[in-house]
Amino acid sequence: MFNPSSRRPQSLTEDGATALTQEEAILLYRRLILARSVEERIRREYPKDQIKTPVHLGIGEEAIPVGVCHCFPPGTPMFGSYRNHALYLALTGETDRFFGELYGKKTGTGQGKAGSMHLAAPEAGLMATSAVVGTTIPLAVGAALAHAYRKSDRGAVSFFGDGAVEEGVFWESLNFACLKRLNVLFVCEDNGLAIHTPSRQRQGFRSILEAVQGFRCSTASGDGSDLLEVIRLTRLMLRRMSEEQGPGLLHLSYFRFLEHVGPGEDFEAGYRRKPTPEEIERLDPVIRFEKELGRWGVTEEDRRQIRNAVDDQISRSVAAAQEAPFPEGDQLDSDLFS
């Protein structure tokens, strides 16, 4: 399928910031397809009402976690929001425990008690994700502070939506990270919406980037639908953060294709319009990256094989999750904190 002899590093930008081997390009494509296919599968399964947890699907967002995670050493502590599926899948690549959790089963990441919004995989670096907007931002700062205490140069990453920026905890966390020069990257996944409300009806500042630029923090902004741009900007941020010995904020915009929560589209609700086919070509990170894959000699047949392998993996995991037992007895209230 893939000819190793054709593997070659590619320089995709003037400064060569995004240099990927064929092996990396294939891995990244697999991660993108895994995230997309898992969520398409959830959309098909959800109406059967066996998955009881609310699901906040990230179709359109996938390139952000896939690209950012690719730039960090394995095990770097990462923290996210409830729109966390692509982040979990980018870090773990696994779907057995993922679907176990969605089906509420003992085999899940939280033994079926945490649900889609609280996926975690500490062994892979995913320390926490949460339903409560903004709550994991200070946890990422705390992880970076712990590294600083231990004189380690390991970083930490916080993923959150544009709505979290309207919370005090974001500004307090940013202030503290800047003051203490912590090695933490804030990644704002900006879809311009908090549920149904657009940014201009919520935000008193001109732009997130301008507001953060008043802080002693490195910043960059770009198109989160473009995986190669996400990687280029993440690497740029890492370089700047190392030069400045302090935190960074990476602001990436993307288009949320589905409703805020649930498996459907909601364009008929009237708060935004459906994109045209030409716009979809630009907004869909999978389509965008597929157009680039020829650079590494990855053919349509290669892509088909990757998609099929991913579909098989998902089918096995869904079947296993459906068969798995629910937690019972003492297991129901063990590991619960409130």
Which positions from 186 to 215 touch Mg ion by CB under 5 A, shown as an x/- string?
A: -----x-x----------------------
Selected binder of ligand TPP within 34, 178, 194, 283 (CB under 6 A):
194
Question: Distance between CA atoms of 291 and 314, rounded to whole angstroms?
Answer: 25
Amino acid at 256: R
Residue 162 binds to Mg ion (criterion: CB under 5 A): yes
What burial class does residue 278 get, using C-beta atoms within 10 Å of its C-beta: 0-12 exposed, 13-18 middle, 19+ buried?
exposed
81 lies in the site for Mg ion, by CB under 5 A: no
Q: Which of Mg ion, ligand TPP, none does 131 bind, CB closer than 5 to 8 A by kind?
A: ligand TPP
| Shortest Å, Cβ 75 to ligand TPP | 25
The C-alpha angle with vertex 67 and arms to 66 and 68, in degrees rounded to 5, equals: 100
Binder to ligand TPP among 57, 90, 128, 193 (CB under 6 A)? 193
Q: How far apart are CA 136 and CA 117, in angstroms?
A: 12
Q: How many residues does the chain have?
A: 338
Residues 82-121 that bind ligand TPP (CB under 6 A): 83
Binders of ligand TPP among 237-276, rule CB under 6 A?
Answer: 260
Among 77, 161, 224, 246, binds ligand TPP (CB under 6 A): 161
Binding of Mg ion by 61 (CB under 5 A): no
Backbone dihedral angles phi then psi of residue 189, each to the nearest 5 degrees: -90, 100
Q: What is the distance between the alpha carbons of residues 317 and 100, in angstroms, rounded to a whole number?
A: 8
Torsional sign, CA 265, 57, 321, 95: positive
Identity of the residue, 36 or 83, whose beta carbon is nearer to ligand TPP in the bound complex: 83
What does the binding site for Mg ion look like in residue numbers (CB under 5 A)? 161-163, 191, 193
